[in-house]
Amino acid sequence: MMFKRFWERLKTNYLRGSPLHRVGRTKTLVSAIVCLSFLLFIAFTYHFLNSSPVHRIANPPEPAITCRMNNLQKSMFTPKDHTSKERLHIGARVLVFVESQYSKAAKQITSSLQYARIDYKLENTGHNLPTLTHSDKGRFAVIIFESLEAYVNMDNWNRQLLDKYCQDYKVGMIIFVHSADEYGIEKEKVPGLPLILRYNVAVKDYRLNAFTDIWRITKPGETVLDNIEEDDWVVFEYNHSTYEPLSYAKLAPPPYLNSRYIPDNSTVVCALLDRGTLDGIQRIFFGNDLSFWVHQMIFIDGISYLSHGKLSFDLERYILVDVDDIFVGITGTRMTAEDVEAMAKTQERLQKEVSNFHFNLGFSGWFYQHGTSLENAGDQKILEYRNKFWWFGHMWRHEQGHKFDQAKLETSMIKNYQFAKEHDIPVMHQYAVAPHHSGVYPVHEPLYQAWKNVWDIRVTSTEEYPRLYPSWKRRGFIHKRVMVLPRQTCGLFTKTLYIDTYPGGRKKLDDSIQGGELFKTFLYNPINIYMTHMGNYANDRLALYTFESVIKFVKCWTNLKLKQVTPLEMGIKYFEMYPEDKEPVWQDPCVYKRHLQIWSANKSCDRLPKFLVVGPQKTGTTALYKFLQIHPAILANYNSPETFEEVQFFNGNNYHKGIDWYMEFFPVPGNATSDFLFEKSANYFDGELVPYRVHSLLPKIKIICILIDPAKRAYSWYQHMQAHGDHIAGNYTFHEIITAPDSAPRKVRELRNRSLIPGIYVQHLQKWLEFFPSRQIFIIDGGRLKSNPVAVMHNVQRFLHIEPHYDYNDYLRFDSKKGFFCQVSSTNKSDCLGRSKGRHYPPMNETSVEFLKQFYRKNNVALSKLLSKHKYRIPDWLEKELSD
């Protein structure tokens, strides 16, 4: 509007008067326009640079945690060491009795155990007891009952057995007590114990009994001041010296006051230890479930105490706070010099609580000096203070790794590297984080290679392995010598900048700090890498607030020792603690949306097989492989130069090469719905980890295996090895091999095992059936494959639901010279398998036949049972074997 009016006025004034006058006026007008443009430019620039952060109403909250006890008082409560020799007689496992595994209490118990990485067995109370001992050792270190009813209502026989087990092996129980459902019942005596339960009470001012031997991680002395909002607490009354209170509280007015309520401020007992002086069994009773955060601490200390230290946690907690996106933030939300000062000061304070504490800054150099003048001064201040902090390379322009090839990634990294050199940034720790977790998992191989080439990266972290949620199941793994550590979120993201607009309100953040999700990461994880962003240190500086608060809170309530070590040391520690995590488990990147978002658009999950022929070796797998390929809708893998046609991905070291490597073996199918990619690797069948790995990557895949008489399979393998000039097979008879004792030379034992073990079909099949439903597994009778492959191929097609349905009569024909069915070639010739398939060799001698009959008998019986249970047809050879 303003411009319009100005223009109108200019037009009328300018056009009025003589042309001569107009020349003079033109000059004035031009200079006016130049001046105006200049002023406008200045105004816009100023506005752009300085006025966009109008929303910047920094209102940093102050950490409001104060411990009731001072340092001197705290030092009186030293953590207890629960280790005693009793722990030598029990296993590191917990037995959990539940009434239903889906109940809230049961889920809380199992997720806490999972969080603590404590191995457990879940049992439904109505069932028989599991075996409690194994060669004179107790299998379980602690018994947990989801509810007291589950314990007292146990059938007498089981209860006696369990009590006796606990007495003999000094194994304790944890029992959760819940309020009676019917509101009429106020008090009840526990049958068989001098203990009275008072139901449905509300409590406040919860505190711990400092004078008990249980506290290890938990530090007594503080009080939860608020009312604890529920009125479903059970409190304990007793009159026997075996009981020792673990926690007290004051009675609180119930949240829904009724007219009959009489104020009562008396102290009650909320968690109780039975020291076992009465019946020889130690028990911990909880008057509520694990929703109450203090109970989580008592729970893990209780497990440590009752297991005599067998299931004790270390007190050390290694933490690293990453600050991603340094220089990257949107203008108006970036750090100013003041913010940098605040960060450095907080770091100094935190160094008193966490030994060697340094914020770990991840920078993207391209964004340096891309903010307002205030923010640019902030950037400069960060560099001025560079030696106060730790640093890692992020990406030059914050690129997502999965979108680029190795050359482009390296170029970007090199620029960031040069930026670090130019500004003398101390990047020292062989650690990097990928923006958006991109390329770390699902693995983008070029990223790992570029990291190695440019920065020599050895450690990284992600929240995406195996998945973001549940957070307590995040794990680490090692790929291409890079240790990938699990990463924790702390409730702060790129967009959480102000306390007033914190999603869910400030209370949500405070709850997470004070006993909630963030506190629990400290409680349960020995190693924590937290993810924060630059914006969390500007604006309301929520990261400073959060970490200062949570660390204070942890110090008030726990004996945990907080430390920082280099990422490399952290990685080494993590995999020392959890060596089982070293090997990654690959999953289909297209199944989980978050994974798909950070997976290259050039890759396709259609390049994964729809079915597998898994073996075992020497059962006719090559014949089946060949016959399958006759079908136009079936596409086999490309041949591997190392293992002939077989890819052998899931069973050996190839698995570590990752799924990009695996996918390279498959063509991109013309039609992903109707084309069937497959591969055959005959030693998948008996590979220990194979069913698990296959299921993780391809849960819907179909599996085909072939079973022949295992004795014949063993003999065929021996012949195969002899034909390949194997030294051992050449120097030992078949009988010597299969009867070789464990004292035989290693190579002999190896040949013995490869001959015999794959034939213990029942064991291997059971493993597959643990992971796949029987409808996904097809079992071919290997004898039939030899004698009637046409019928077998008919059934295979039906199992795969493949179209068009081929009549293999047109494609297979018996070749009397070969003695087997062969493919009919386009010129109507027999295209048989090579000389190494369908060999001629003398029949097995009788003593070996007899030995193998005995050797496999028990397993074959079990196999027929397993097959019947899953409604499979019993192979002819097995019928015959069992009827002999």
Query: Where along the sequence are the contacts to ligand A3P (CB under 6 A)?
Result: 617-623, 682, 716, 719, 785-786, 820-821, 833, 837-839
Which residue in 774, 794, 630, 636 sits closest to 703, CA to CA?
A: 774
Q: How many residues would you count in the chain?
A: 884
Catalytic residue flag (residue 352)? no
CA 56 to chain CA mean position, Å: 38
Q: Calculate the CA 21 to chain-centre distance.
A: 82
Catalytic residue of the set 381, 618, 680, 702? 618
> How many CA atoms lie within 13 Å of 881's alpha carbon, on the beta-carbon side?
25
512 vs 619, beta carbon nearer ligand A3P: 619
Taking the complex as a whole, the smallest distance from the CB of residue 810 to ligand A3P amounts, in Å, to: 16
Q: How far is the CB of 698 from ligand A3P (least distance, A)?
A: 22
- Between 325 and 679, CB nearer to ligand A3P: 679
Q: Using CA atoms, how far apart are residues 193 and 196, in angstroms rounded to an integer? A: 8
- At residue 725, what is the residue type? G
CB 719 to ligand A3P: min, Å: 6
Q: What's the closest the beta carbon of residue 757 comes to ligand A3P, in angstroms?
A: 16
Could you tell me if 676 and 632 are in contact, meaning their C-beta atoms sit under 8 angstroms apart? Answer: no
Q: Least distance in Å: CB of 619 to ligand A3P?
A: 5
Residue placing its CB nearer to ligand A3P in the complex, 713 or 752 = 713
620 or 875: CB nearest ligand A3P = 620
Task: List the beta bridge partners of residue 252.
Answer: 202
Q: CB 748 → ligand A3P: shortest distance, Å?
A: 21
With contact defined as beta carbons under 8 Å apart, do 710 and 764 qualify? Answer: no
Closest approach, Cβ 820 to ligand A3P, in A, equals 4
Residue 290 or 623: the one with the smaller Cβ distance to ligand A3P is: 623
User: For the chain, first and last CA: distance in Å?
Assistant: 103
Within 147-221, strands assigned E span 172-176, 187-189, 195-208
| Cα 252 from Cα 316, distance rounded (Å) | 37
CA 299 to CA 715: how far, in whole Å?
Answer: 56
Question: Which residue, 19 or 843, has its beta carbon nearer to ligand A3P?
Answer: 843
Going from the C-alpha of 184 to that of each of 188, 263, 552, the distances in angstroms are 11, 19, 43
Quote the CA–CA distance of 48 and 547 in Å, as a whole number.
33
DSSP sequence for 199-219:
EEEEEEEEEE-SSSTT-SSB-
What HEC string does 35-75 produce? HHHHHHHHHHHHHHHHHHHHHCCCCCCCCCCCCCCCHHHHH
CB of 833 vs ligand A3P, minimal distance in Å: 4
699: preceding bond cis by omega (within 30 degrees)? no
507-520: string of b/e by CB count within 10 Å (b at 16+)?
eebbbbbbbbbbbb
d(CA 727, CA 747): 9
The torsion defined by the Cα of 543, 546, 551 and 555, in degrees rounded to 10, comes to 170
Q: For residues 122 and 131, what is the distance between their CA atoms, to the nearest angstrom?
A: 13
Pick the closer one to ligand A3P by CB: 665 or 821. Answer: 821
Residue whose pair of structure tokens reads 């097979």 in the numeric block: 729
What is the smallest separation between the CB atom of 167 and ligand A3P, expressed in angstroms?
56
User: For residues 61 and 838, which CB has a smaller minimum distance to ligand A3P in the complex?
Assistant: 838
Distance (Å) of CA 117 to CA 92, 114, 518: 11, 5, 18
Token pair recorded at residue 225? 């001041």
- Distances in Å between the Cα of 359 and the Cα atoms of 62, 265, 410, 565 are 19, 46, 26, 12
* Of 598 and 623, CB closest to ligand A3P: 623
Nearer to ligand A3P, 529 or 707 (CB): 707
Nearer to ligand A3P, 331 or 830 (CB): 830
Q: Residue 114 belongs to what H/E stretch?
A: helix 104-115
With respect to ligand A3P, which residue has the nearer C-beta, 25 or 813?
A: 813
In angstroms, rounded to a whole number, what is the distance separating the alpha carbons of residues 387 and 358? 10
Distances from the Cα of 221 to the Cαs of 313, 555, 800, 870, in angstroms?
21, 12, 66, 59
State the alpha helices, DSSP H only, in 328-372: 337-351
Q: How far is the CB of 792 from ligand A3P (least distance, A)?
A: 10
Amino acid symbol at 838: G
Residue 716 CB, nearest approach to ligand A3P (Å)? 3
- In the beta sheet, which residues pair with residue 272? 245, 285
Q: Are 296 and 290 in contact (CB under 8 A)?
A: yes
Q: Which is nearer to ligand A3P, 154 or 703 (CB)?
A: 703
Residues 6 or more apart from 265 whose CB is under 8 A from it? 250, 251
Smallest gap from Cβ 805 to ligand A3P, in A, equals 21
CB 392 within 8 A of CB 420: no
Q: ∠ CA(712), CA(718), CA(724), 5° rounding?
A: 135
Neighbouring-strand partners of residue 396: none
In the complex, what is the shortest distance from the CB of residue 834 to ligand A3P, in angstroms, rounded to a whole number? 9
SS3 766: helix
**Which residue do the tokens 């967009």 mark?**
495
Residues involved in catalysis: 618
